[in-house]
Amino acid sequence: IVIVRARGRLFAVGQRQIIVKTPQLPEPVRFPHARAFRPNPSRKITARAAQLAVEAVSCWPALARIFDQLRAAGLPSLFVCWSAQAALYHRHGVEKRPLPEKCFGVFEQRVVSPRHPAVRALGGSFYAPVSRHTEVRAEDLPRGRGLELIAESADSGLCLIAEDAAASLYMFNHLEYETETLQREYDRDREAGTGISAPANYYARRLPGERPVNLWRSAARRFFATWAATLEHKPGDSLYL
């Protein structure tokens, strides 16, 4: 979990926990066992946790508290991949569904709400890395709760949902990935003997072993620049999970 404040300090990382404290939150939120969330080349803990029911993850009580406090404080929030699924589950009861096999690669995403500020700079479509064993389906989204589908893919499912009343974006894919990230995940999973297929649409000439091609860099820069610009018009802090 990466936690970011737009201006100044936001969090302190201790030897055994992460402590989140901002003027807008009524009290600090503590994440025990911070090592489980620190960058780890193997990512074995987080990879397994992503497949569990959200309430089975050890940090769930702390996460549920911060989801509630973020909403109450009106802090602009961008939830990515598992945290997007977890926040939707906690706030709206939307269950994540297991996929028959891992959705893994780079897939074209279609913008279905082009007037929404989050995607206004992305045009009609963009590419995004995808790496997950589960998904949220459009038919499971509750009606009348202010959830707006912003982008989706015929190949990888839902990509981005907005909840403007809660100042929240739910991104199920990984525009933040570096060029080599999918390759590192592929190598990790092969070493673990998971039988994973090579990431789709990722290599030059679409051949594993060729160099990875970054099809999403431009979209990623525009997406995050747009989101960061919106923070300038909102007081206080922001959280990126």
Catalytic residue among 152, 163, 176, 185: 176
Start-end of H helices in the chain: 44-49, 60-73, 82-92, 181-191, 217-231
59 is catalytic: no
233 is catalytic: no
Catalytic residue among 81, 90, 159, 185: 81
How far apart are the C-alpha atoms of 145 and 166, rounded to whole Å? 11
Helix axes 82-92, 60-73, angle to 10 degrees: 70
191 is catalytic: no
Burial track 139-161 (b if 16+ CB lie within 10 A, e otherwise) = eebeeeeebeebbbbeebbbbbb
Within 10 angstroms of residue 60's Cβ, the number of other Cβ atoms is: 16
Residues with a known catalytic role: 81, 174, 176
